[in-house]
Amino acid sequence: MGSDLVYDALVLGGGPAGLAAAVQLARFNRSVLVFDGGGGRSSYHQVNHNYLGFPGGISIRDFRRASREQAARLPVAFIDEEAAAVSRQGSCFVARTAAGIQANGRTVVFATGVRDRFPDFPGWESYVGRSIFWCIVCDGYSTRGRRIVVVANDDDGGVTALQFLQFTSHVTVLSNAAQCGVGAKVRGELQARGIRLVEDEIAGVLGHDGILGAVQLKRGGTLEADYLFSLQGSNPASDLAAGLGCERSALGYIVTDMEQRTNVPGVFAAGDVTRDLAHQVATAVHEGITAATTANYSLYAAWQRHERYRE
């Protein structure tokens, strides 16, 4: 299923990065098709309080809905399914869904985000963005004076737990693993600063409507908590880009230059999938617009380009 139509750009992902890229590309008068799986980090329940211009915060779902509406008012087409494969055919890229819908593009923007490894218990999704978070930059401020459980099983996680003391003195670290991976030095720091390290696994939670009351432990007992911060990491959704020959970092993120070019001509990347740090809506929007601008530039004929810009 497909047509001979060749879009100027195929955008993979309809979160903040992909929608920012699509809006900007359409405003360059380029034809754009967005493939979107509809999930990702911008699909949970959180209200963002650090995105400028919204004094009362902005629900990420509302943000995404409004951004999608903004794109839909422009000539941006959508396929509400994930692309399952992307390949190069001659001077074009071809993206295909698992159901066989396919489209051709002269450029591709990967804005596929990451997949978080949140604790797995019945109903966990209803808590994410309400009382389960992962990012101290985004949501540390909400924990002031509250009881938090930091799910972490390495030194980086232990150090982040120590940073939470900036907001609250009620911090507990839970390994959520059969064997604890926090090293002796960090363990010592945690103990010295009154942070309990619990070596046990999550059996479930006590709470309602996404609001946590306590974490239930496999060996019995509970940890009372207002918030749980999961520092179990995430997997960048970068396999399709790698299949096209895009370089990835040791952690699996798509490597780009400052203008969001990958090492493969015609292929760009934006948002959480490009970096280990600064996973923020503002960064995703910035990178999406930058990727669109660079992709647009690459689509001009040679005689339309300025000497001082690189292709």
Ligand X SMILES: Cc1cc2nc3c(=O)[nH]c(=O)nc-3n(C[C@H](O)[C@H](O)[C@H](O)COP(=O)(O)OP(=O)(O)OC[C@H]3O[C@@H](n4cnc5c(N)ncnc54)[C@H](O)[C@@H]3O)c2cc1C
Which residues in this chain contact ligand X in the complex, by CB under 6 A?
12-18, 35-42, 44, 46, 48-51, 60, 82-83, 111-113, 128-129, 133, 135, 138-139, 237, 240, 271-272, 279-282, 284
Contacts of 243 (CB under 8 A, 6+ apart): 85, 86, 87
First to last CA, the chain: 33
Amino acid residing at 198: V
Residue number with CB closer to ligand X (25 or 83): 83
300's CB contacts (< 8 A; 6+ apart) are: none
Residue number with CB closer to ligand X (71 or 284): 284
How near is the Cβ of 96 to ligand X at its closest, in Å? Answer: 10
Minimal distance, residue 194 CB to ligand X, in Å:
27
Specify the DSSP element, H or E, that contains 204.
strand 202-208
**Contact present, 46 and 131 (Cβ < 8 Å):** no
Determine the residue type at 173.
Answer: V
CB of 250 to ligand X, least distance (A): 20
- Toward ligand X, which CB reaches closer, 49 or 146? 49
CA separation for the pair 264, 62 (Å, rounded)? 34
CA dihedral 53, 293, 60, 112 (to 10 degrees): -160
Residue 193 CB, nearest approach to ligand X (Å) = 26
Q: Which is nearer to ligand X, 136 or 186 (CB)?
A: 136
Minimum distance between the CB of residue 43 and ligand X, rounded to whole angstroms? 6
Nearest distance from C-beta of residue 221 to ligand X, angstroms: 26
**Do 172 and 194 meet the contact criterion of CB atoms below 8 Å apart?**
no
How far apart are the C-alpha atoms of 78 and 2, rounded to whole Å?
Answer: 14
Smaller CB distance to ligand X: residue 59 or 155?
Answer: 59
Quote the least distance from Cβ 85 to ligand X, whole Å. 9
At 78 the three-state DSSP class reads strand
Least distance (Å) between residue 127 CB and ligand X: 9
- Please state, in angstroms and rounded to a whole number, the distance separating the CA atoms of residues 234 and 120: 14
Residue placing its CB nearer to ligand X in the complex, 140 or 180: 140
- Closer CB to ligand X, residue 139 or residue 226? 139
Distance CA 151, CA 120 (A): 12
Structure tokens at 233: 């990491």
Q: Which is nearer to ligand X, 105 or 271 (CB)?
A: 271
Going by C-alpha positions, the residue among 311, 268, 306, 240 that lies closest to residue 97 is: 240
